[in-house]
Chain A
Amino acid sequence: EAQVTQNPRYLITVTGKKLTVTCSQNMNHEYMSWYRQDPGLGLRQIYYSMNVEVTDKGDVPEGYKVSRKEKRNFPLILESPSPNQTSLYFCASSLSGLHRGGPGNQPQHFGDGTRLSIL
């Protein structure tokens, strides 16, 4: 079954304790991205990756890191989490690299979300 898998689904942790949220897709998609969703603010893009070893900042990258060593995986790393990073996080993927018109040209497939609470 084609899917985007995020882990963990829920996490409560404390300020400063490094954490990683994993994201994996089995559709051989080139484009992957991370969003955070906060009440009243909608979805805001954190980082995106057009392909392996190609990553770039979205609108709210501060406090986050990503890597894209393999096509299927795109982990989100919080090196020193703070309470303002408490949020609902979504990973998404799509077929498109720039040569296919970019992410707007293809449907995005979303994971089920990771709810992070940082105390």
Chain B
Amino acid sequence: SQQGEEDPQALSIQEGENATMNCSYKTSINNLQWYRQNSGRGLVHLILIRSNEREKHSGRLRVTLDTSKKSSSLLITASRAADTASYFCATDEGGSEKLVFGKGMKLTVNP
């Protein structure tokens, strides 16, 4: 079952601009994670936010979580060409044994 759905599916911006990606999910969760994938490579963990948290920061990344709307957003500030990648959200469907990934969103940052 696909839990998280990222939106938009693709985003193209200029270097220095901010990029915002959204993730919506269907059932209650304990945790939501964001990952980055460079072309054809393994996913790299970016940030984890728990259901009792509303916002979290890590460097240029800012993640928000709205459990009432079942949605999360990932903001990358002052984007760089190296941020070009696909981004995935993943949820644990209420603390189950499974981590379910969305289909991903492709971000292109033009120099």
Contact = CB atoms under 8 A, between A and B. Distances in A.
Nearest to A38: B103
A104 B42 contact: no
Contacts of A50: 97
Contacts of A102: 30, 92, 95-97
Given A42-B104, A88-B40, A90-B42, A108 B95 contact: no
A29 B39 CA distance: 26
A56 interface: yes
A1 B53 CA distance: 32
B75 interface: no
Contact of A90 (B1, B43, B93, B100): B43
Contact of A108 (B2, B41, B45): B45
B101 A42 contact: yes
Interface in B30-60: 30-33, 35, 40-45, 48
A110 B98 contact: no
A104 B40 contact: no
Contacts of B41: 112-113
Given A42-B101, A45-B100, A110 B44 contact: yes
Contacts, number: 83
Nearest to B2: A42
A106 B102 CA distance: 17
B11 interface: no
Given A43-B88, A110-B44, A111-B42, A104 B99 contact: yes
11 contacts: A35-B101, A42-B104, A45-B98, A90-B43, A102-B30, A103-B97, A103-B99, A104-B31, A106-B48, A108-B43, A110-B42
Interface in B51-97: 88, 90-93, 95-97
B29 interface: yes
A113 B97 contact: no
Contact of A113 (B29, B42, B91, B99): B42
A111 B98 CA distance: 18
B45 to A, nearest CB: 4
A53 interface: no
A77 B75 CA distance: 39
